[in-house]
Amino acid sequence: MNIFLLLCVILLAGFEAEALSYDHSASIECLAHPQKPQYNGGIIKNPELNDGLQGWTAFGNARIEHRESLGNKYVVANNRNQPHDSVAQKIYLQNGLHYSLSAWIQVSEANVLVTAMVKTTEGFKFGGAIYAEPNCWSMLKGGLTADATEVAELYFESNNTSVEIWIDNISLQPFTKKQWTSHQEQNIEKTRKKNVVVQALDEQGRPLPNARISITMKRYGFPFGSAMNKYILSNTAYHYWFASRFTVTAFENEMKWYTNEYTQGKDNYFEADVMLRYAKKHGIAVRGHNIFWEDPQYQPSWVPSLSADQLNNAVEKRINSVVSRYKDQLIGWDVINENLHSSFFESKLGQNFTSRMFNEVHNVDGNTTLFMNDYNTIEDSRDGLSTPPKYIQKIREIQSWNKQLPLGIGLESHFPNFPPNLPYMRASLDILAATGLPIWITELDVASQPNQAGYLEQVLREAHSHPGIRGIVMWTAWSPQGCFRMCLTDNNFKNLPTGDVVDKLIYEWGRKILSGTTDKNGFLKASLFHGDYKMEISHSAKKNYTFTHQLQVLSKDKSKKTTQFIQISI
């Protein structure tokens, strides 16, 4: 074992030096042939099953077989009487490392949930899950972080014991935390920033060396913000604190049905209207949250007693009221809230309720992105109701009605009180990004516990660095009675540790002032976050007169150029 440990240390040192890139690719289609294993299988032995069953053993009381079809070799677990009866491989985990997991799965019949699990000395870790099908291969992608250095077992299970589980092209790739951070930094440079080249010229158009240039961001290009509520309307300190930081918001309760129509037939939009005016005044974009909420306990008090026909009429009135009122004023609508966990409307008005509502909202407000919005898709892998495959199933159901709908993926991201599973979070985002739809973090917070601020920083960094994420809204609206789960300030608007994290990241993501001096050819090169900037240029030959120039650094979505070039005469 000591020789084995020494070998692992040597391998890890070399592996660290290579700074292995992370593979964001994911397939959400069921394919006739599985794709090659990511990272050539990582630490998995015989990942493509080309060497028979070498490295693989039965788990539980399953019988395993090595099979070949159309030149492809794989392992099959059959004769299964318990969910865990399957196929397994012993793996060596190292404490603190992040592990990216992937495999290709097929089942003998039906559409069946298959889960990757890791058995450790302390219990079981969830690795990922996929709804597998017969006659084609589906990609399972997930991940985990090791809590100890030990020998563990990776296996695949399903509650449906009547099916065979077919497994191929498995991969388990370790990354150090340093490498994980490096991936984030690489993504930020590629996705959130752009190279900018400024050339200073004199009146005759000649390069001006030794010109001093400072660059100050005035507004972020990446939408980052927090929810807010009616208390912002009467609190000047809250006004200033909020507007000086954030570029996007959602209203905590003021656009919800139970607020807008507390009494049937009497609409109330006063608070929402004033909050929207405040947001517009300060250049803060607003997400519409929400039109309908599937959870029975969050309906207007008069709604549950309605007959099906009365409920349908109330639903139509709700759409025509709130969507028409705020048409073309919002950057997104949360059309159906938490419909993977609850089904109040679907149970009363039919399974097509969700698809019908998305179409009707689009017919009223055709230019606004329409979101599902749910929790535990990326934050807590123990919840099987809203996994990425479940989310995508519901999206496809909506698209089956109208493939042209401008859909978006809303991820609430209410993280629990234990360390975030960053590999699972990243893999889940990879899967969702494979849909090609914009992904927003819509209600991010972390449960209260001693390391709340530290966990918040981890998930904010992970979300901001992922290329599929288009914006982040935290669920941190302040009220005198306290926040939902996480506050950023105290009642005097002095930052709490969580607020310090937010300010640190805002500074890091572009608010710090950059300065430098042009070279002999008048050039200054910088890598800048997308956003609006003020440039100040001065030179001793100009008696240190300061020339000001406005600069907008566009994302690649709006400008295909990888480098932005600016010439300025002073």
Question: What positions carry a catalytic annotation?
Answer: 443
Q: Provide the pLDDT for residue 4.
A: 35
Task: Look at 200-204, 276-280, 372-376 and tell me which has the smallest mean pLDDT.
Answer: 200-204
Q: Provide the pLDDT for residue 541.
A: 84
Q: Provide the pLDDT for residue 8.
A: 39
Whether pLDDT at 265 is above 50: yes
User: Regarding predicted confidence, which is higher, 223 or 540?
Assistant: 223
| Start and end residues for every CATH 2.60.120.260 domain found in the chain | 38-175
Query: In whole angstroms, what is the distance from residue 96 CA to residue 93 CA?
Result: 9
Torsion angles phi and psi, residue 348, rounded to 5: -100, -30
Q: Provide the pLDDT for residue 5.
A: 34
38-175: CATH architecture:
Sandwich (2.60)
Query: In whole angstroms, what is the distance from residue 80 CA to residue 164 CA?
Result: 8
pLDDT grade for 389, boundaries at 50, 70 and 90: very high
Domain 223-510 has CATH 3.20.20.80: yes
Whether pLDDT at 18 is above 60: no
The H-or-E segment that residue 354 falls in is helix 353-364
User: Regarding predicted confidence, which is higher, 12 or 275?
Assistant: 275
* DSSP-based three-state secondary structure for 554: coil
pLDDT grade for 557, boundaries at 50, 70 and 90: low
Looking at residues 497-502, what average pLDDT do you find?
98
User: Regarding predicted confidence, which is higher, 167 or 383?
Assistant: 167
Looking at residues 38-63, what average pLDDT do you find?
98
Looking at residues 259-282, what average pLDDT do you find?
97
Fold designation for 194-218+513-569: Immunoglobulin-like (2.60.40)
Q: Could you tell me if 220 and 529 are in contact, meaning their C-beta atoms sit under 8 angstroms apart?
A: yes
pLDDT grade for 7, boundaries at 50, 70 and 90: very low
Looking at residues 542-550, what average pLDDT do you find?
87
pLDDT grade for 559, boundaries at 50, 70 and 90: low
The H-or-E segment that residue 8 falls in is helix 2-18
Average per-residue pLDDT in the chain?
A: 94
| Start and end residues for every CATH 2.60.40.1120 domain found in the chain | 194-218+513-569
pLDDT grade for 15, boundaries at 50, 70 and 90: very low
Query: In whole angstroms, what is the distance from residue 294 CA to residue 296 CA?
Result: 6
Q: Provide the pLDDT for residue 85.
A: 98
Q: What is the DSSP string of 392-461?
A: HHHHHHHHTT-TT--EEEEE--EE-SS---HHHHHHHHHHHHTTT--EEEEEEEE-SSTTHHHHHHHHHH
The H-or-E segment that residue 212 falls in is strand 212-220
Q: Could you tell me if 140 and 114 are in contact, meaning their C-beta atoms sit under 8 angstroms apart?
A: yes
| Start and end residues for every CATH 3.20.20.80 domain found in the chain | 223-510
Whether pLDDT at 29 is above 50: yes
